[in-house]
Homo-oligomer: A and B are copies of this chain.
Amino acid sequence: MPNTGQRIVMKFGGTSMAGIERIRHVADRVRREVATGNQVAVVVSAMAGETDRLVQLCKEAAPLYDPREYDVVVASGEQVTAGLLAMTLQGMGLNARSYMGWQLPIRASGHASALIEGIDVAVLERVFDDSGIAVIPGFQGVTSEGALATLGRGGSDTSAVALAIAAKADRCDIYTDVDGVYTTDPRIVPRARKLDVVTYEEMLELASVGAKVLQTRSVGLAMRYGMPLQVLSSFEDLPGTMIVGEDGSNLTTGTVMERNIITGIAHDRNEAFITLTGLPDRPGTVAAVFRPLADAGINVDMIVQSAKSAGGMSDLTFTVPKASLAHSVDALAKVREAGGFQELLTNTDIVKVSVVGVGMRSNAGIAALMFDTLAERQINIVAISTSEIKVSVLISEDYTELAVRVLHTAFGLDAPAASLDAGAAS
């Protein structure tokens, strides 16, 4: 490779950091990037499974754990991998060193799902000047009170993008266990195709509906600052998927963007739905339900309200992340005591399936084709939500694979039979 002299933030996910052998592989990838003459900072996730293990410990210790102490516990996972990668790079003769979030510092506000407020790059600039490699644990920062803060699950992507923006990097490369962004999950649809290019907005919708290649927030942040992202495999030397603005302004490769109406089909098993029965018909009832959820920092997604009996009572159904279900039920207990509703029912056996594409804006038939396709297979739709570039439906989890497959075909996304092998290999 030529000496490009670019500044690159490389981010490696949990699967890439799972064990010393893989960390050595990551170190070798970093070494090659440095050898091209690029300035490199590396952001790492915890070893695959480690954050789950730590979260589980917190849940066992205290079901309604203090988010501040939760952050102390879970921030340790990335601390370990950052130290291990730094010493591995040093073992290869490279000038590497780890910098914790509180050491740079990466300033953040809040706990458990903190927001990055800013990153001081003075230390980083000195490392770059010194031809050094900074290894930074993702997912964490420090509050203005000096407490550890973590950014919420998948937050390492956001750490990497924020760091790339703060350090005025040329690109942020997200190394993961898939080799790019696909039209849908290739494990479900063997004829799924890898996309060379996707827009920030499409990626946002794909991420938010469960195509778990990148954390939603990281894509939103990259979009806001026009930071080019690349998703590529930690394990294979293959071109990945570039994520760029809709005008292709970040696309320096000259590739012409595809303009399919639909970019992909995503699904998300991480939602649970809550049904509240017997809401009295008076102003402020729904607000009284959602206010405590908002106060608890819980994202409510799809909402369905059904007017019901002659007595003026109605039901309210909405989805929350599965991980927030216990907190949600807890937050709603007081609303019920105050007569806000009668019964609370929960269901976690659901999936959200979404059709995503920037081309959708000029196409009113997308939703109709989606509903028809599902109806043909007798798949019942529990709730619907739409955005400018997405239509999502909530269905029974049992139908996940069937729904994704028939929609992938119906929207013309299946790869030609000839490229089946390449698609299936991923």
Chain A interface (Cβ within 8 Å of chain B)? 20, 23-24, 54, 57-58, 60-66, 68-73, 75-77, 79-80, 82-88, 90-91, 97-98, 100, 102-103, 146-148
Contact = CB atoms under 8 A, between A and B. Distances in A.
17 contacts: A20-B57, A23-B61, A58-B83, A61-B84, A61-B91, A62-B91, A63-B91, A64-B91, A65-B90, A65-B91, A69-B87, A69-B97, A72-B79, A72-B83, A72-B100, A76-B77, A103-B146
A65 B80 contact: no
* Interface majority SS (helix, strand, loop, mixed), chain A: helix
Given A65-B91, A79-B79, 19 more contacts: A20-B60, A23-B61, A57-B80, A58-B84, A61-B87, A63-B91, A65-B87, A69-B84, A69-B90, A69-B97, A70-B87, A72-B79, A72-B83, A72-B98, A73-B79, A75-B79, A76-B79, A102-B102, A103-B147
Given A68-B97, A69-B98, A80 B76 contact: yes
A239 to B, nearest CB: 30
A88 B61 contact: yes
Contacts of A58: 83-84, 87
Contacts of A23: 61
Contacts of A77: 76
Contacts of A54: 80
A148 B100 contact: yes
Contacts of A71: 83
A391 B237 CA distance: 63
A252 to B, nearest CB: 35
A302 to B, nearest CB: 32
Nearest to A68: B97
A64 B93 CA distance: 12
Contacts of A80: 54, 57, 72-73, 76
A12 to B, nearest CB: 14
> Which of A20, A82, A83, A90 has most chain B Cβ within 10 Å?
A83
Given A68-B97, A148-B100, A62 B88 contact: yes
A82 B77 CA distance: 15
Contacts of A86: 66, 69, 72
A321 B75 CA distance: 32
A242 B62 CA distance: 34
A90 B62 contact: yes
Nearest to A54: B80
A76 B46 CA distance: 12
A4 B102 CA distance: 39
A87 to B, nearest CB: 4
Top 10 A-B pairs, shortest CB-CB distance: A72-B83, A62-B91, A73-B83, A76-B76, A69-B87, A20-B60, A62-B87, A69-B83, A65-B87, A69-B86
